[in-house]
Chains A and B, each alone.
Chain A
Amino acid sequence: SQTIHQWPATLVQPVGSPLSLECTVEGTSNPNLYWYRQAAGRGLQLLFYSVGIGQISSEVPQNLSASRPQDRQFILSSKKLLLSDSGFYLCAWSGTSGRADTQYFGPGTRLTVL
């Protein structure tokens, strides 16, 4: 069966510090991968998605970036965090055989920028 991992589960970082959140998927190959952010009291905002190694689509211009160094690894990064980067970050995957019809989410990372 497929599983998706995210770490860390919680993170407290000062403004201006770098960020690296990691997501890995097991039990599937060539998945579509997604990063979302849920800000307090708001819905799910798509940040990045990837259909393959090295292929990243950015949905929202900001100081975050994403990379996919391996087929089942998706990394969210920032060089300098802003207060507004605080939120709950979710990684998700979907299959690529035909059209993706369901996304499966990881447990999330709670990021607090102070």
Chain B
Amino acid sequence: DQQVKQNSPSLSVQEGRISILNCDYTNSMFDYFLWYKKYPAEGPTFLISISSIKDKNEDGRFTVFLNKSAKHLSLHIVPSQPGDSAVYFCAAITNTGNQFYFGTGTSLTVIP
């Protein structure tokens, strides 16, 4: 049962434009959400997170938006750079758990 879903397996964006990666979840008990970036043959690295008490968190070129009513979050990267090309995973965790639930990932390609 996939509780965190990333329905777009891939995305291509021109350099300098905005990249928008989407993530949906089904478990209303999730209260903390994270985005990870993964290069081939490497472990994922933490990128940005957001608590359910917020609807937006910004860190440099990266902004995460949370819409709790729609059970939807998105990661905006602007401006996109070729070095952003990677697989992006969203993840969620409940307020009582230690288990992280990951989406299936979206492969972002930023075209120079």
| Cα distance A51–B97 in the bound complex, in angstroms | 11
Query: Interface residue count for A (Cβ, 8 Å)?
Result: 27
- Chain B 73-107 near chain A by CB (<8 Å), digits 1 or 0: 00000000000000001010101111110111100
Q: What is the number of contacts between chain A and chain B, taking CB atoms within 8 Å?
A: 60
Chain B residues closer than 8 Å to A104, beta-carbon distance? 46
B102 pairs with A90, CB closer than 8 A: no
**In terms of DSSP, what is the predominant structure of the interface of chain A?**
strand
Q: Taking the complex as formed, is A7 at the interface, i.e. its CB lies under 8 A from any CB of chain B?
A: no
**In terms of DSSP, what is the predominant structure of the interface of chain B?**
loop
| Cα distance A92–B96 in the bound complex, in angstroms | 19
| Cα distance A77–B97 in the bound complex, in angstroms | 25
B42 pairs with A107, CB closer than 8 A: yes
Instruction: Please tell me which one of the listed residues A42, A103, A106 contacts residue B104 in the complex, with CB atoms under 8 A apart.
Output: A42
| Cα distance A95–B96 in the bound complex, in angstroms | 14
Task: Give min CB distance, A44 to chain B, whole Å.
Answer: 4
Task: Give min CB distance, A109 to chain B, whole Å.
Answer: 10
| Cα distance A107–B102 in the bound complex, in angstroms | 18
B89 pairs with A43, CB closer than 8 A: yes
Chain A residues closer than 8 Å to B103, beta-carbon distance? 43
Closest 5 pairs between A and B when the two form their complex, measured CB to CB? A105-B43, A43-B104, A44-B102, A100-B98, A105-B44
Show 16 residue pairs from A and B whose CB-CB distance is below 8 angstroms, ordered by the A residue: A36-B102, A43-B103, A44-B102, A46-B100, A59-B99, A94-B100, A99-B93, A100-B98, A101-B93, A103-B46, A103-B100, A104-B46, A105-B36, A105-B45, A106-B43, A108-B43
Binding site for A on B (CB under 8 A): 6, 32, 34, 36, 41-46, 49, 89, 91, 93, 95-100, 102-105
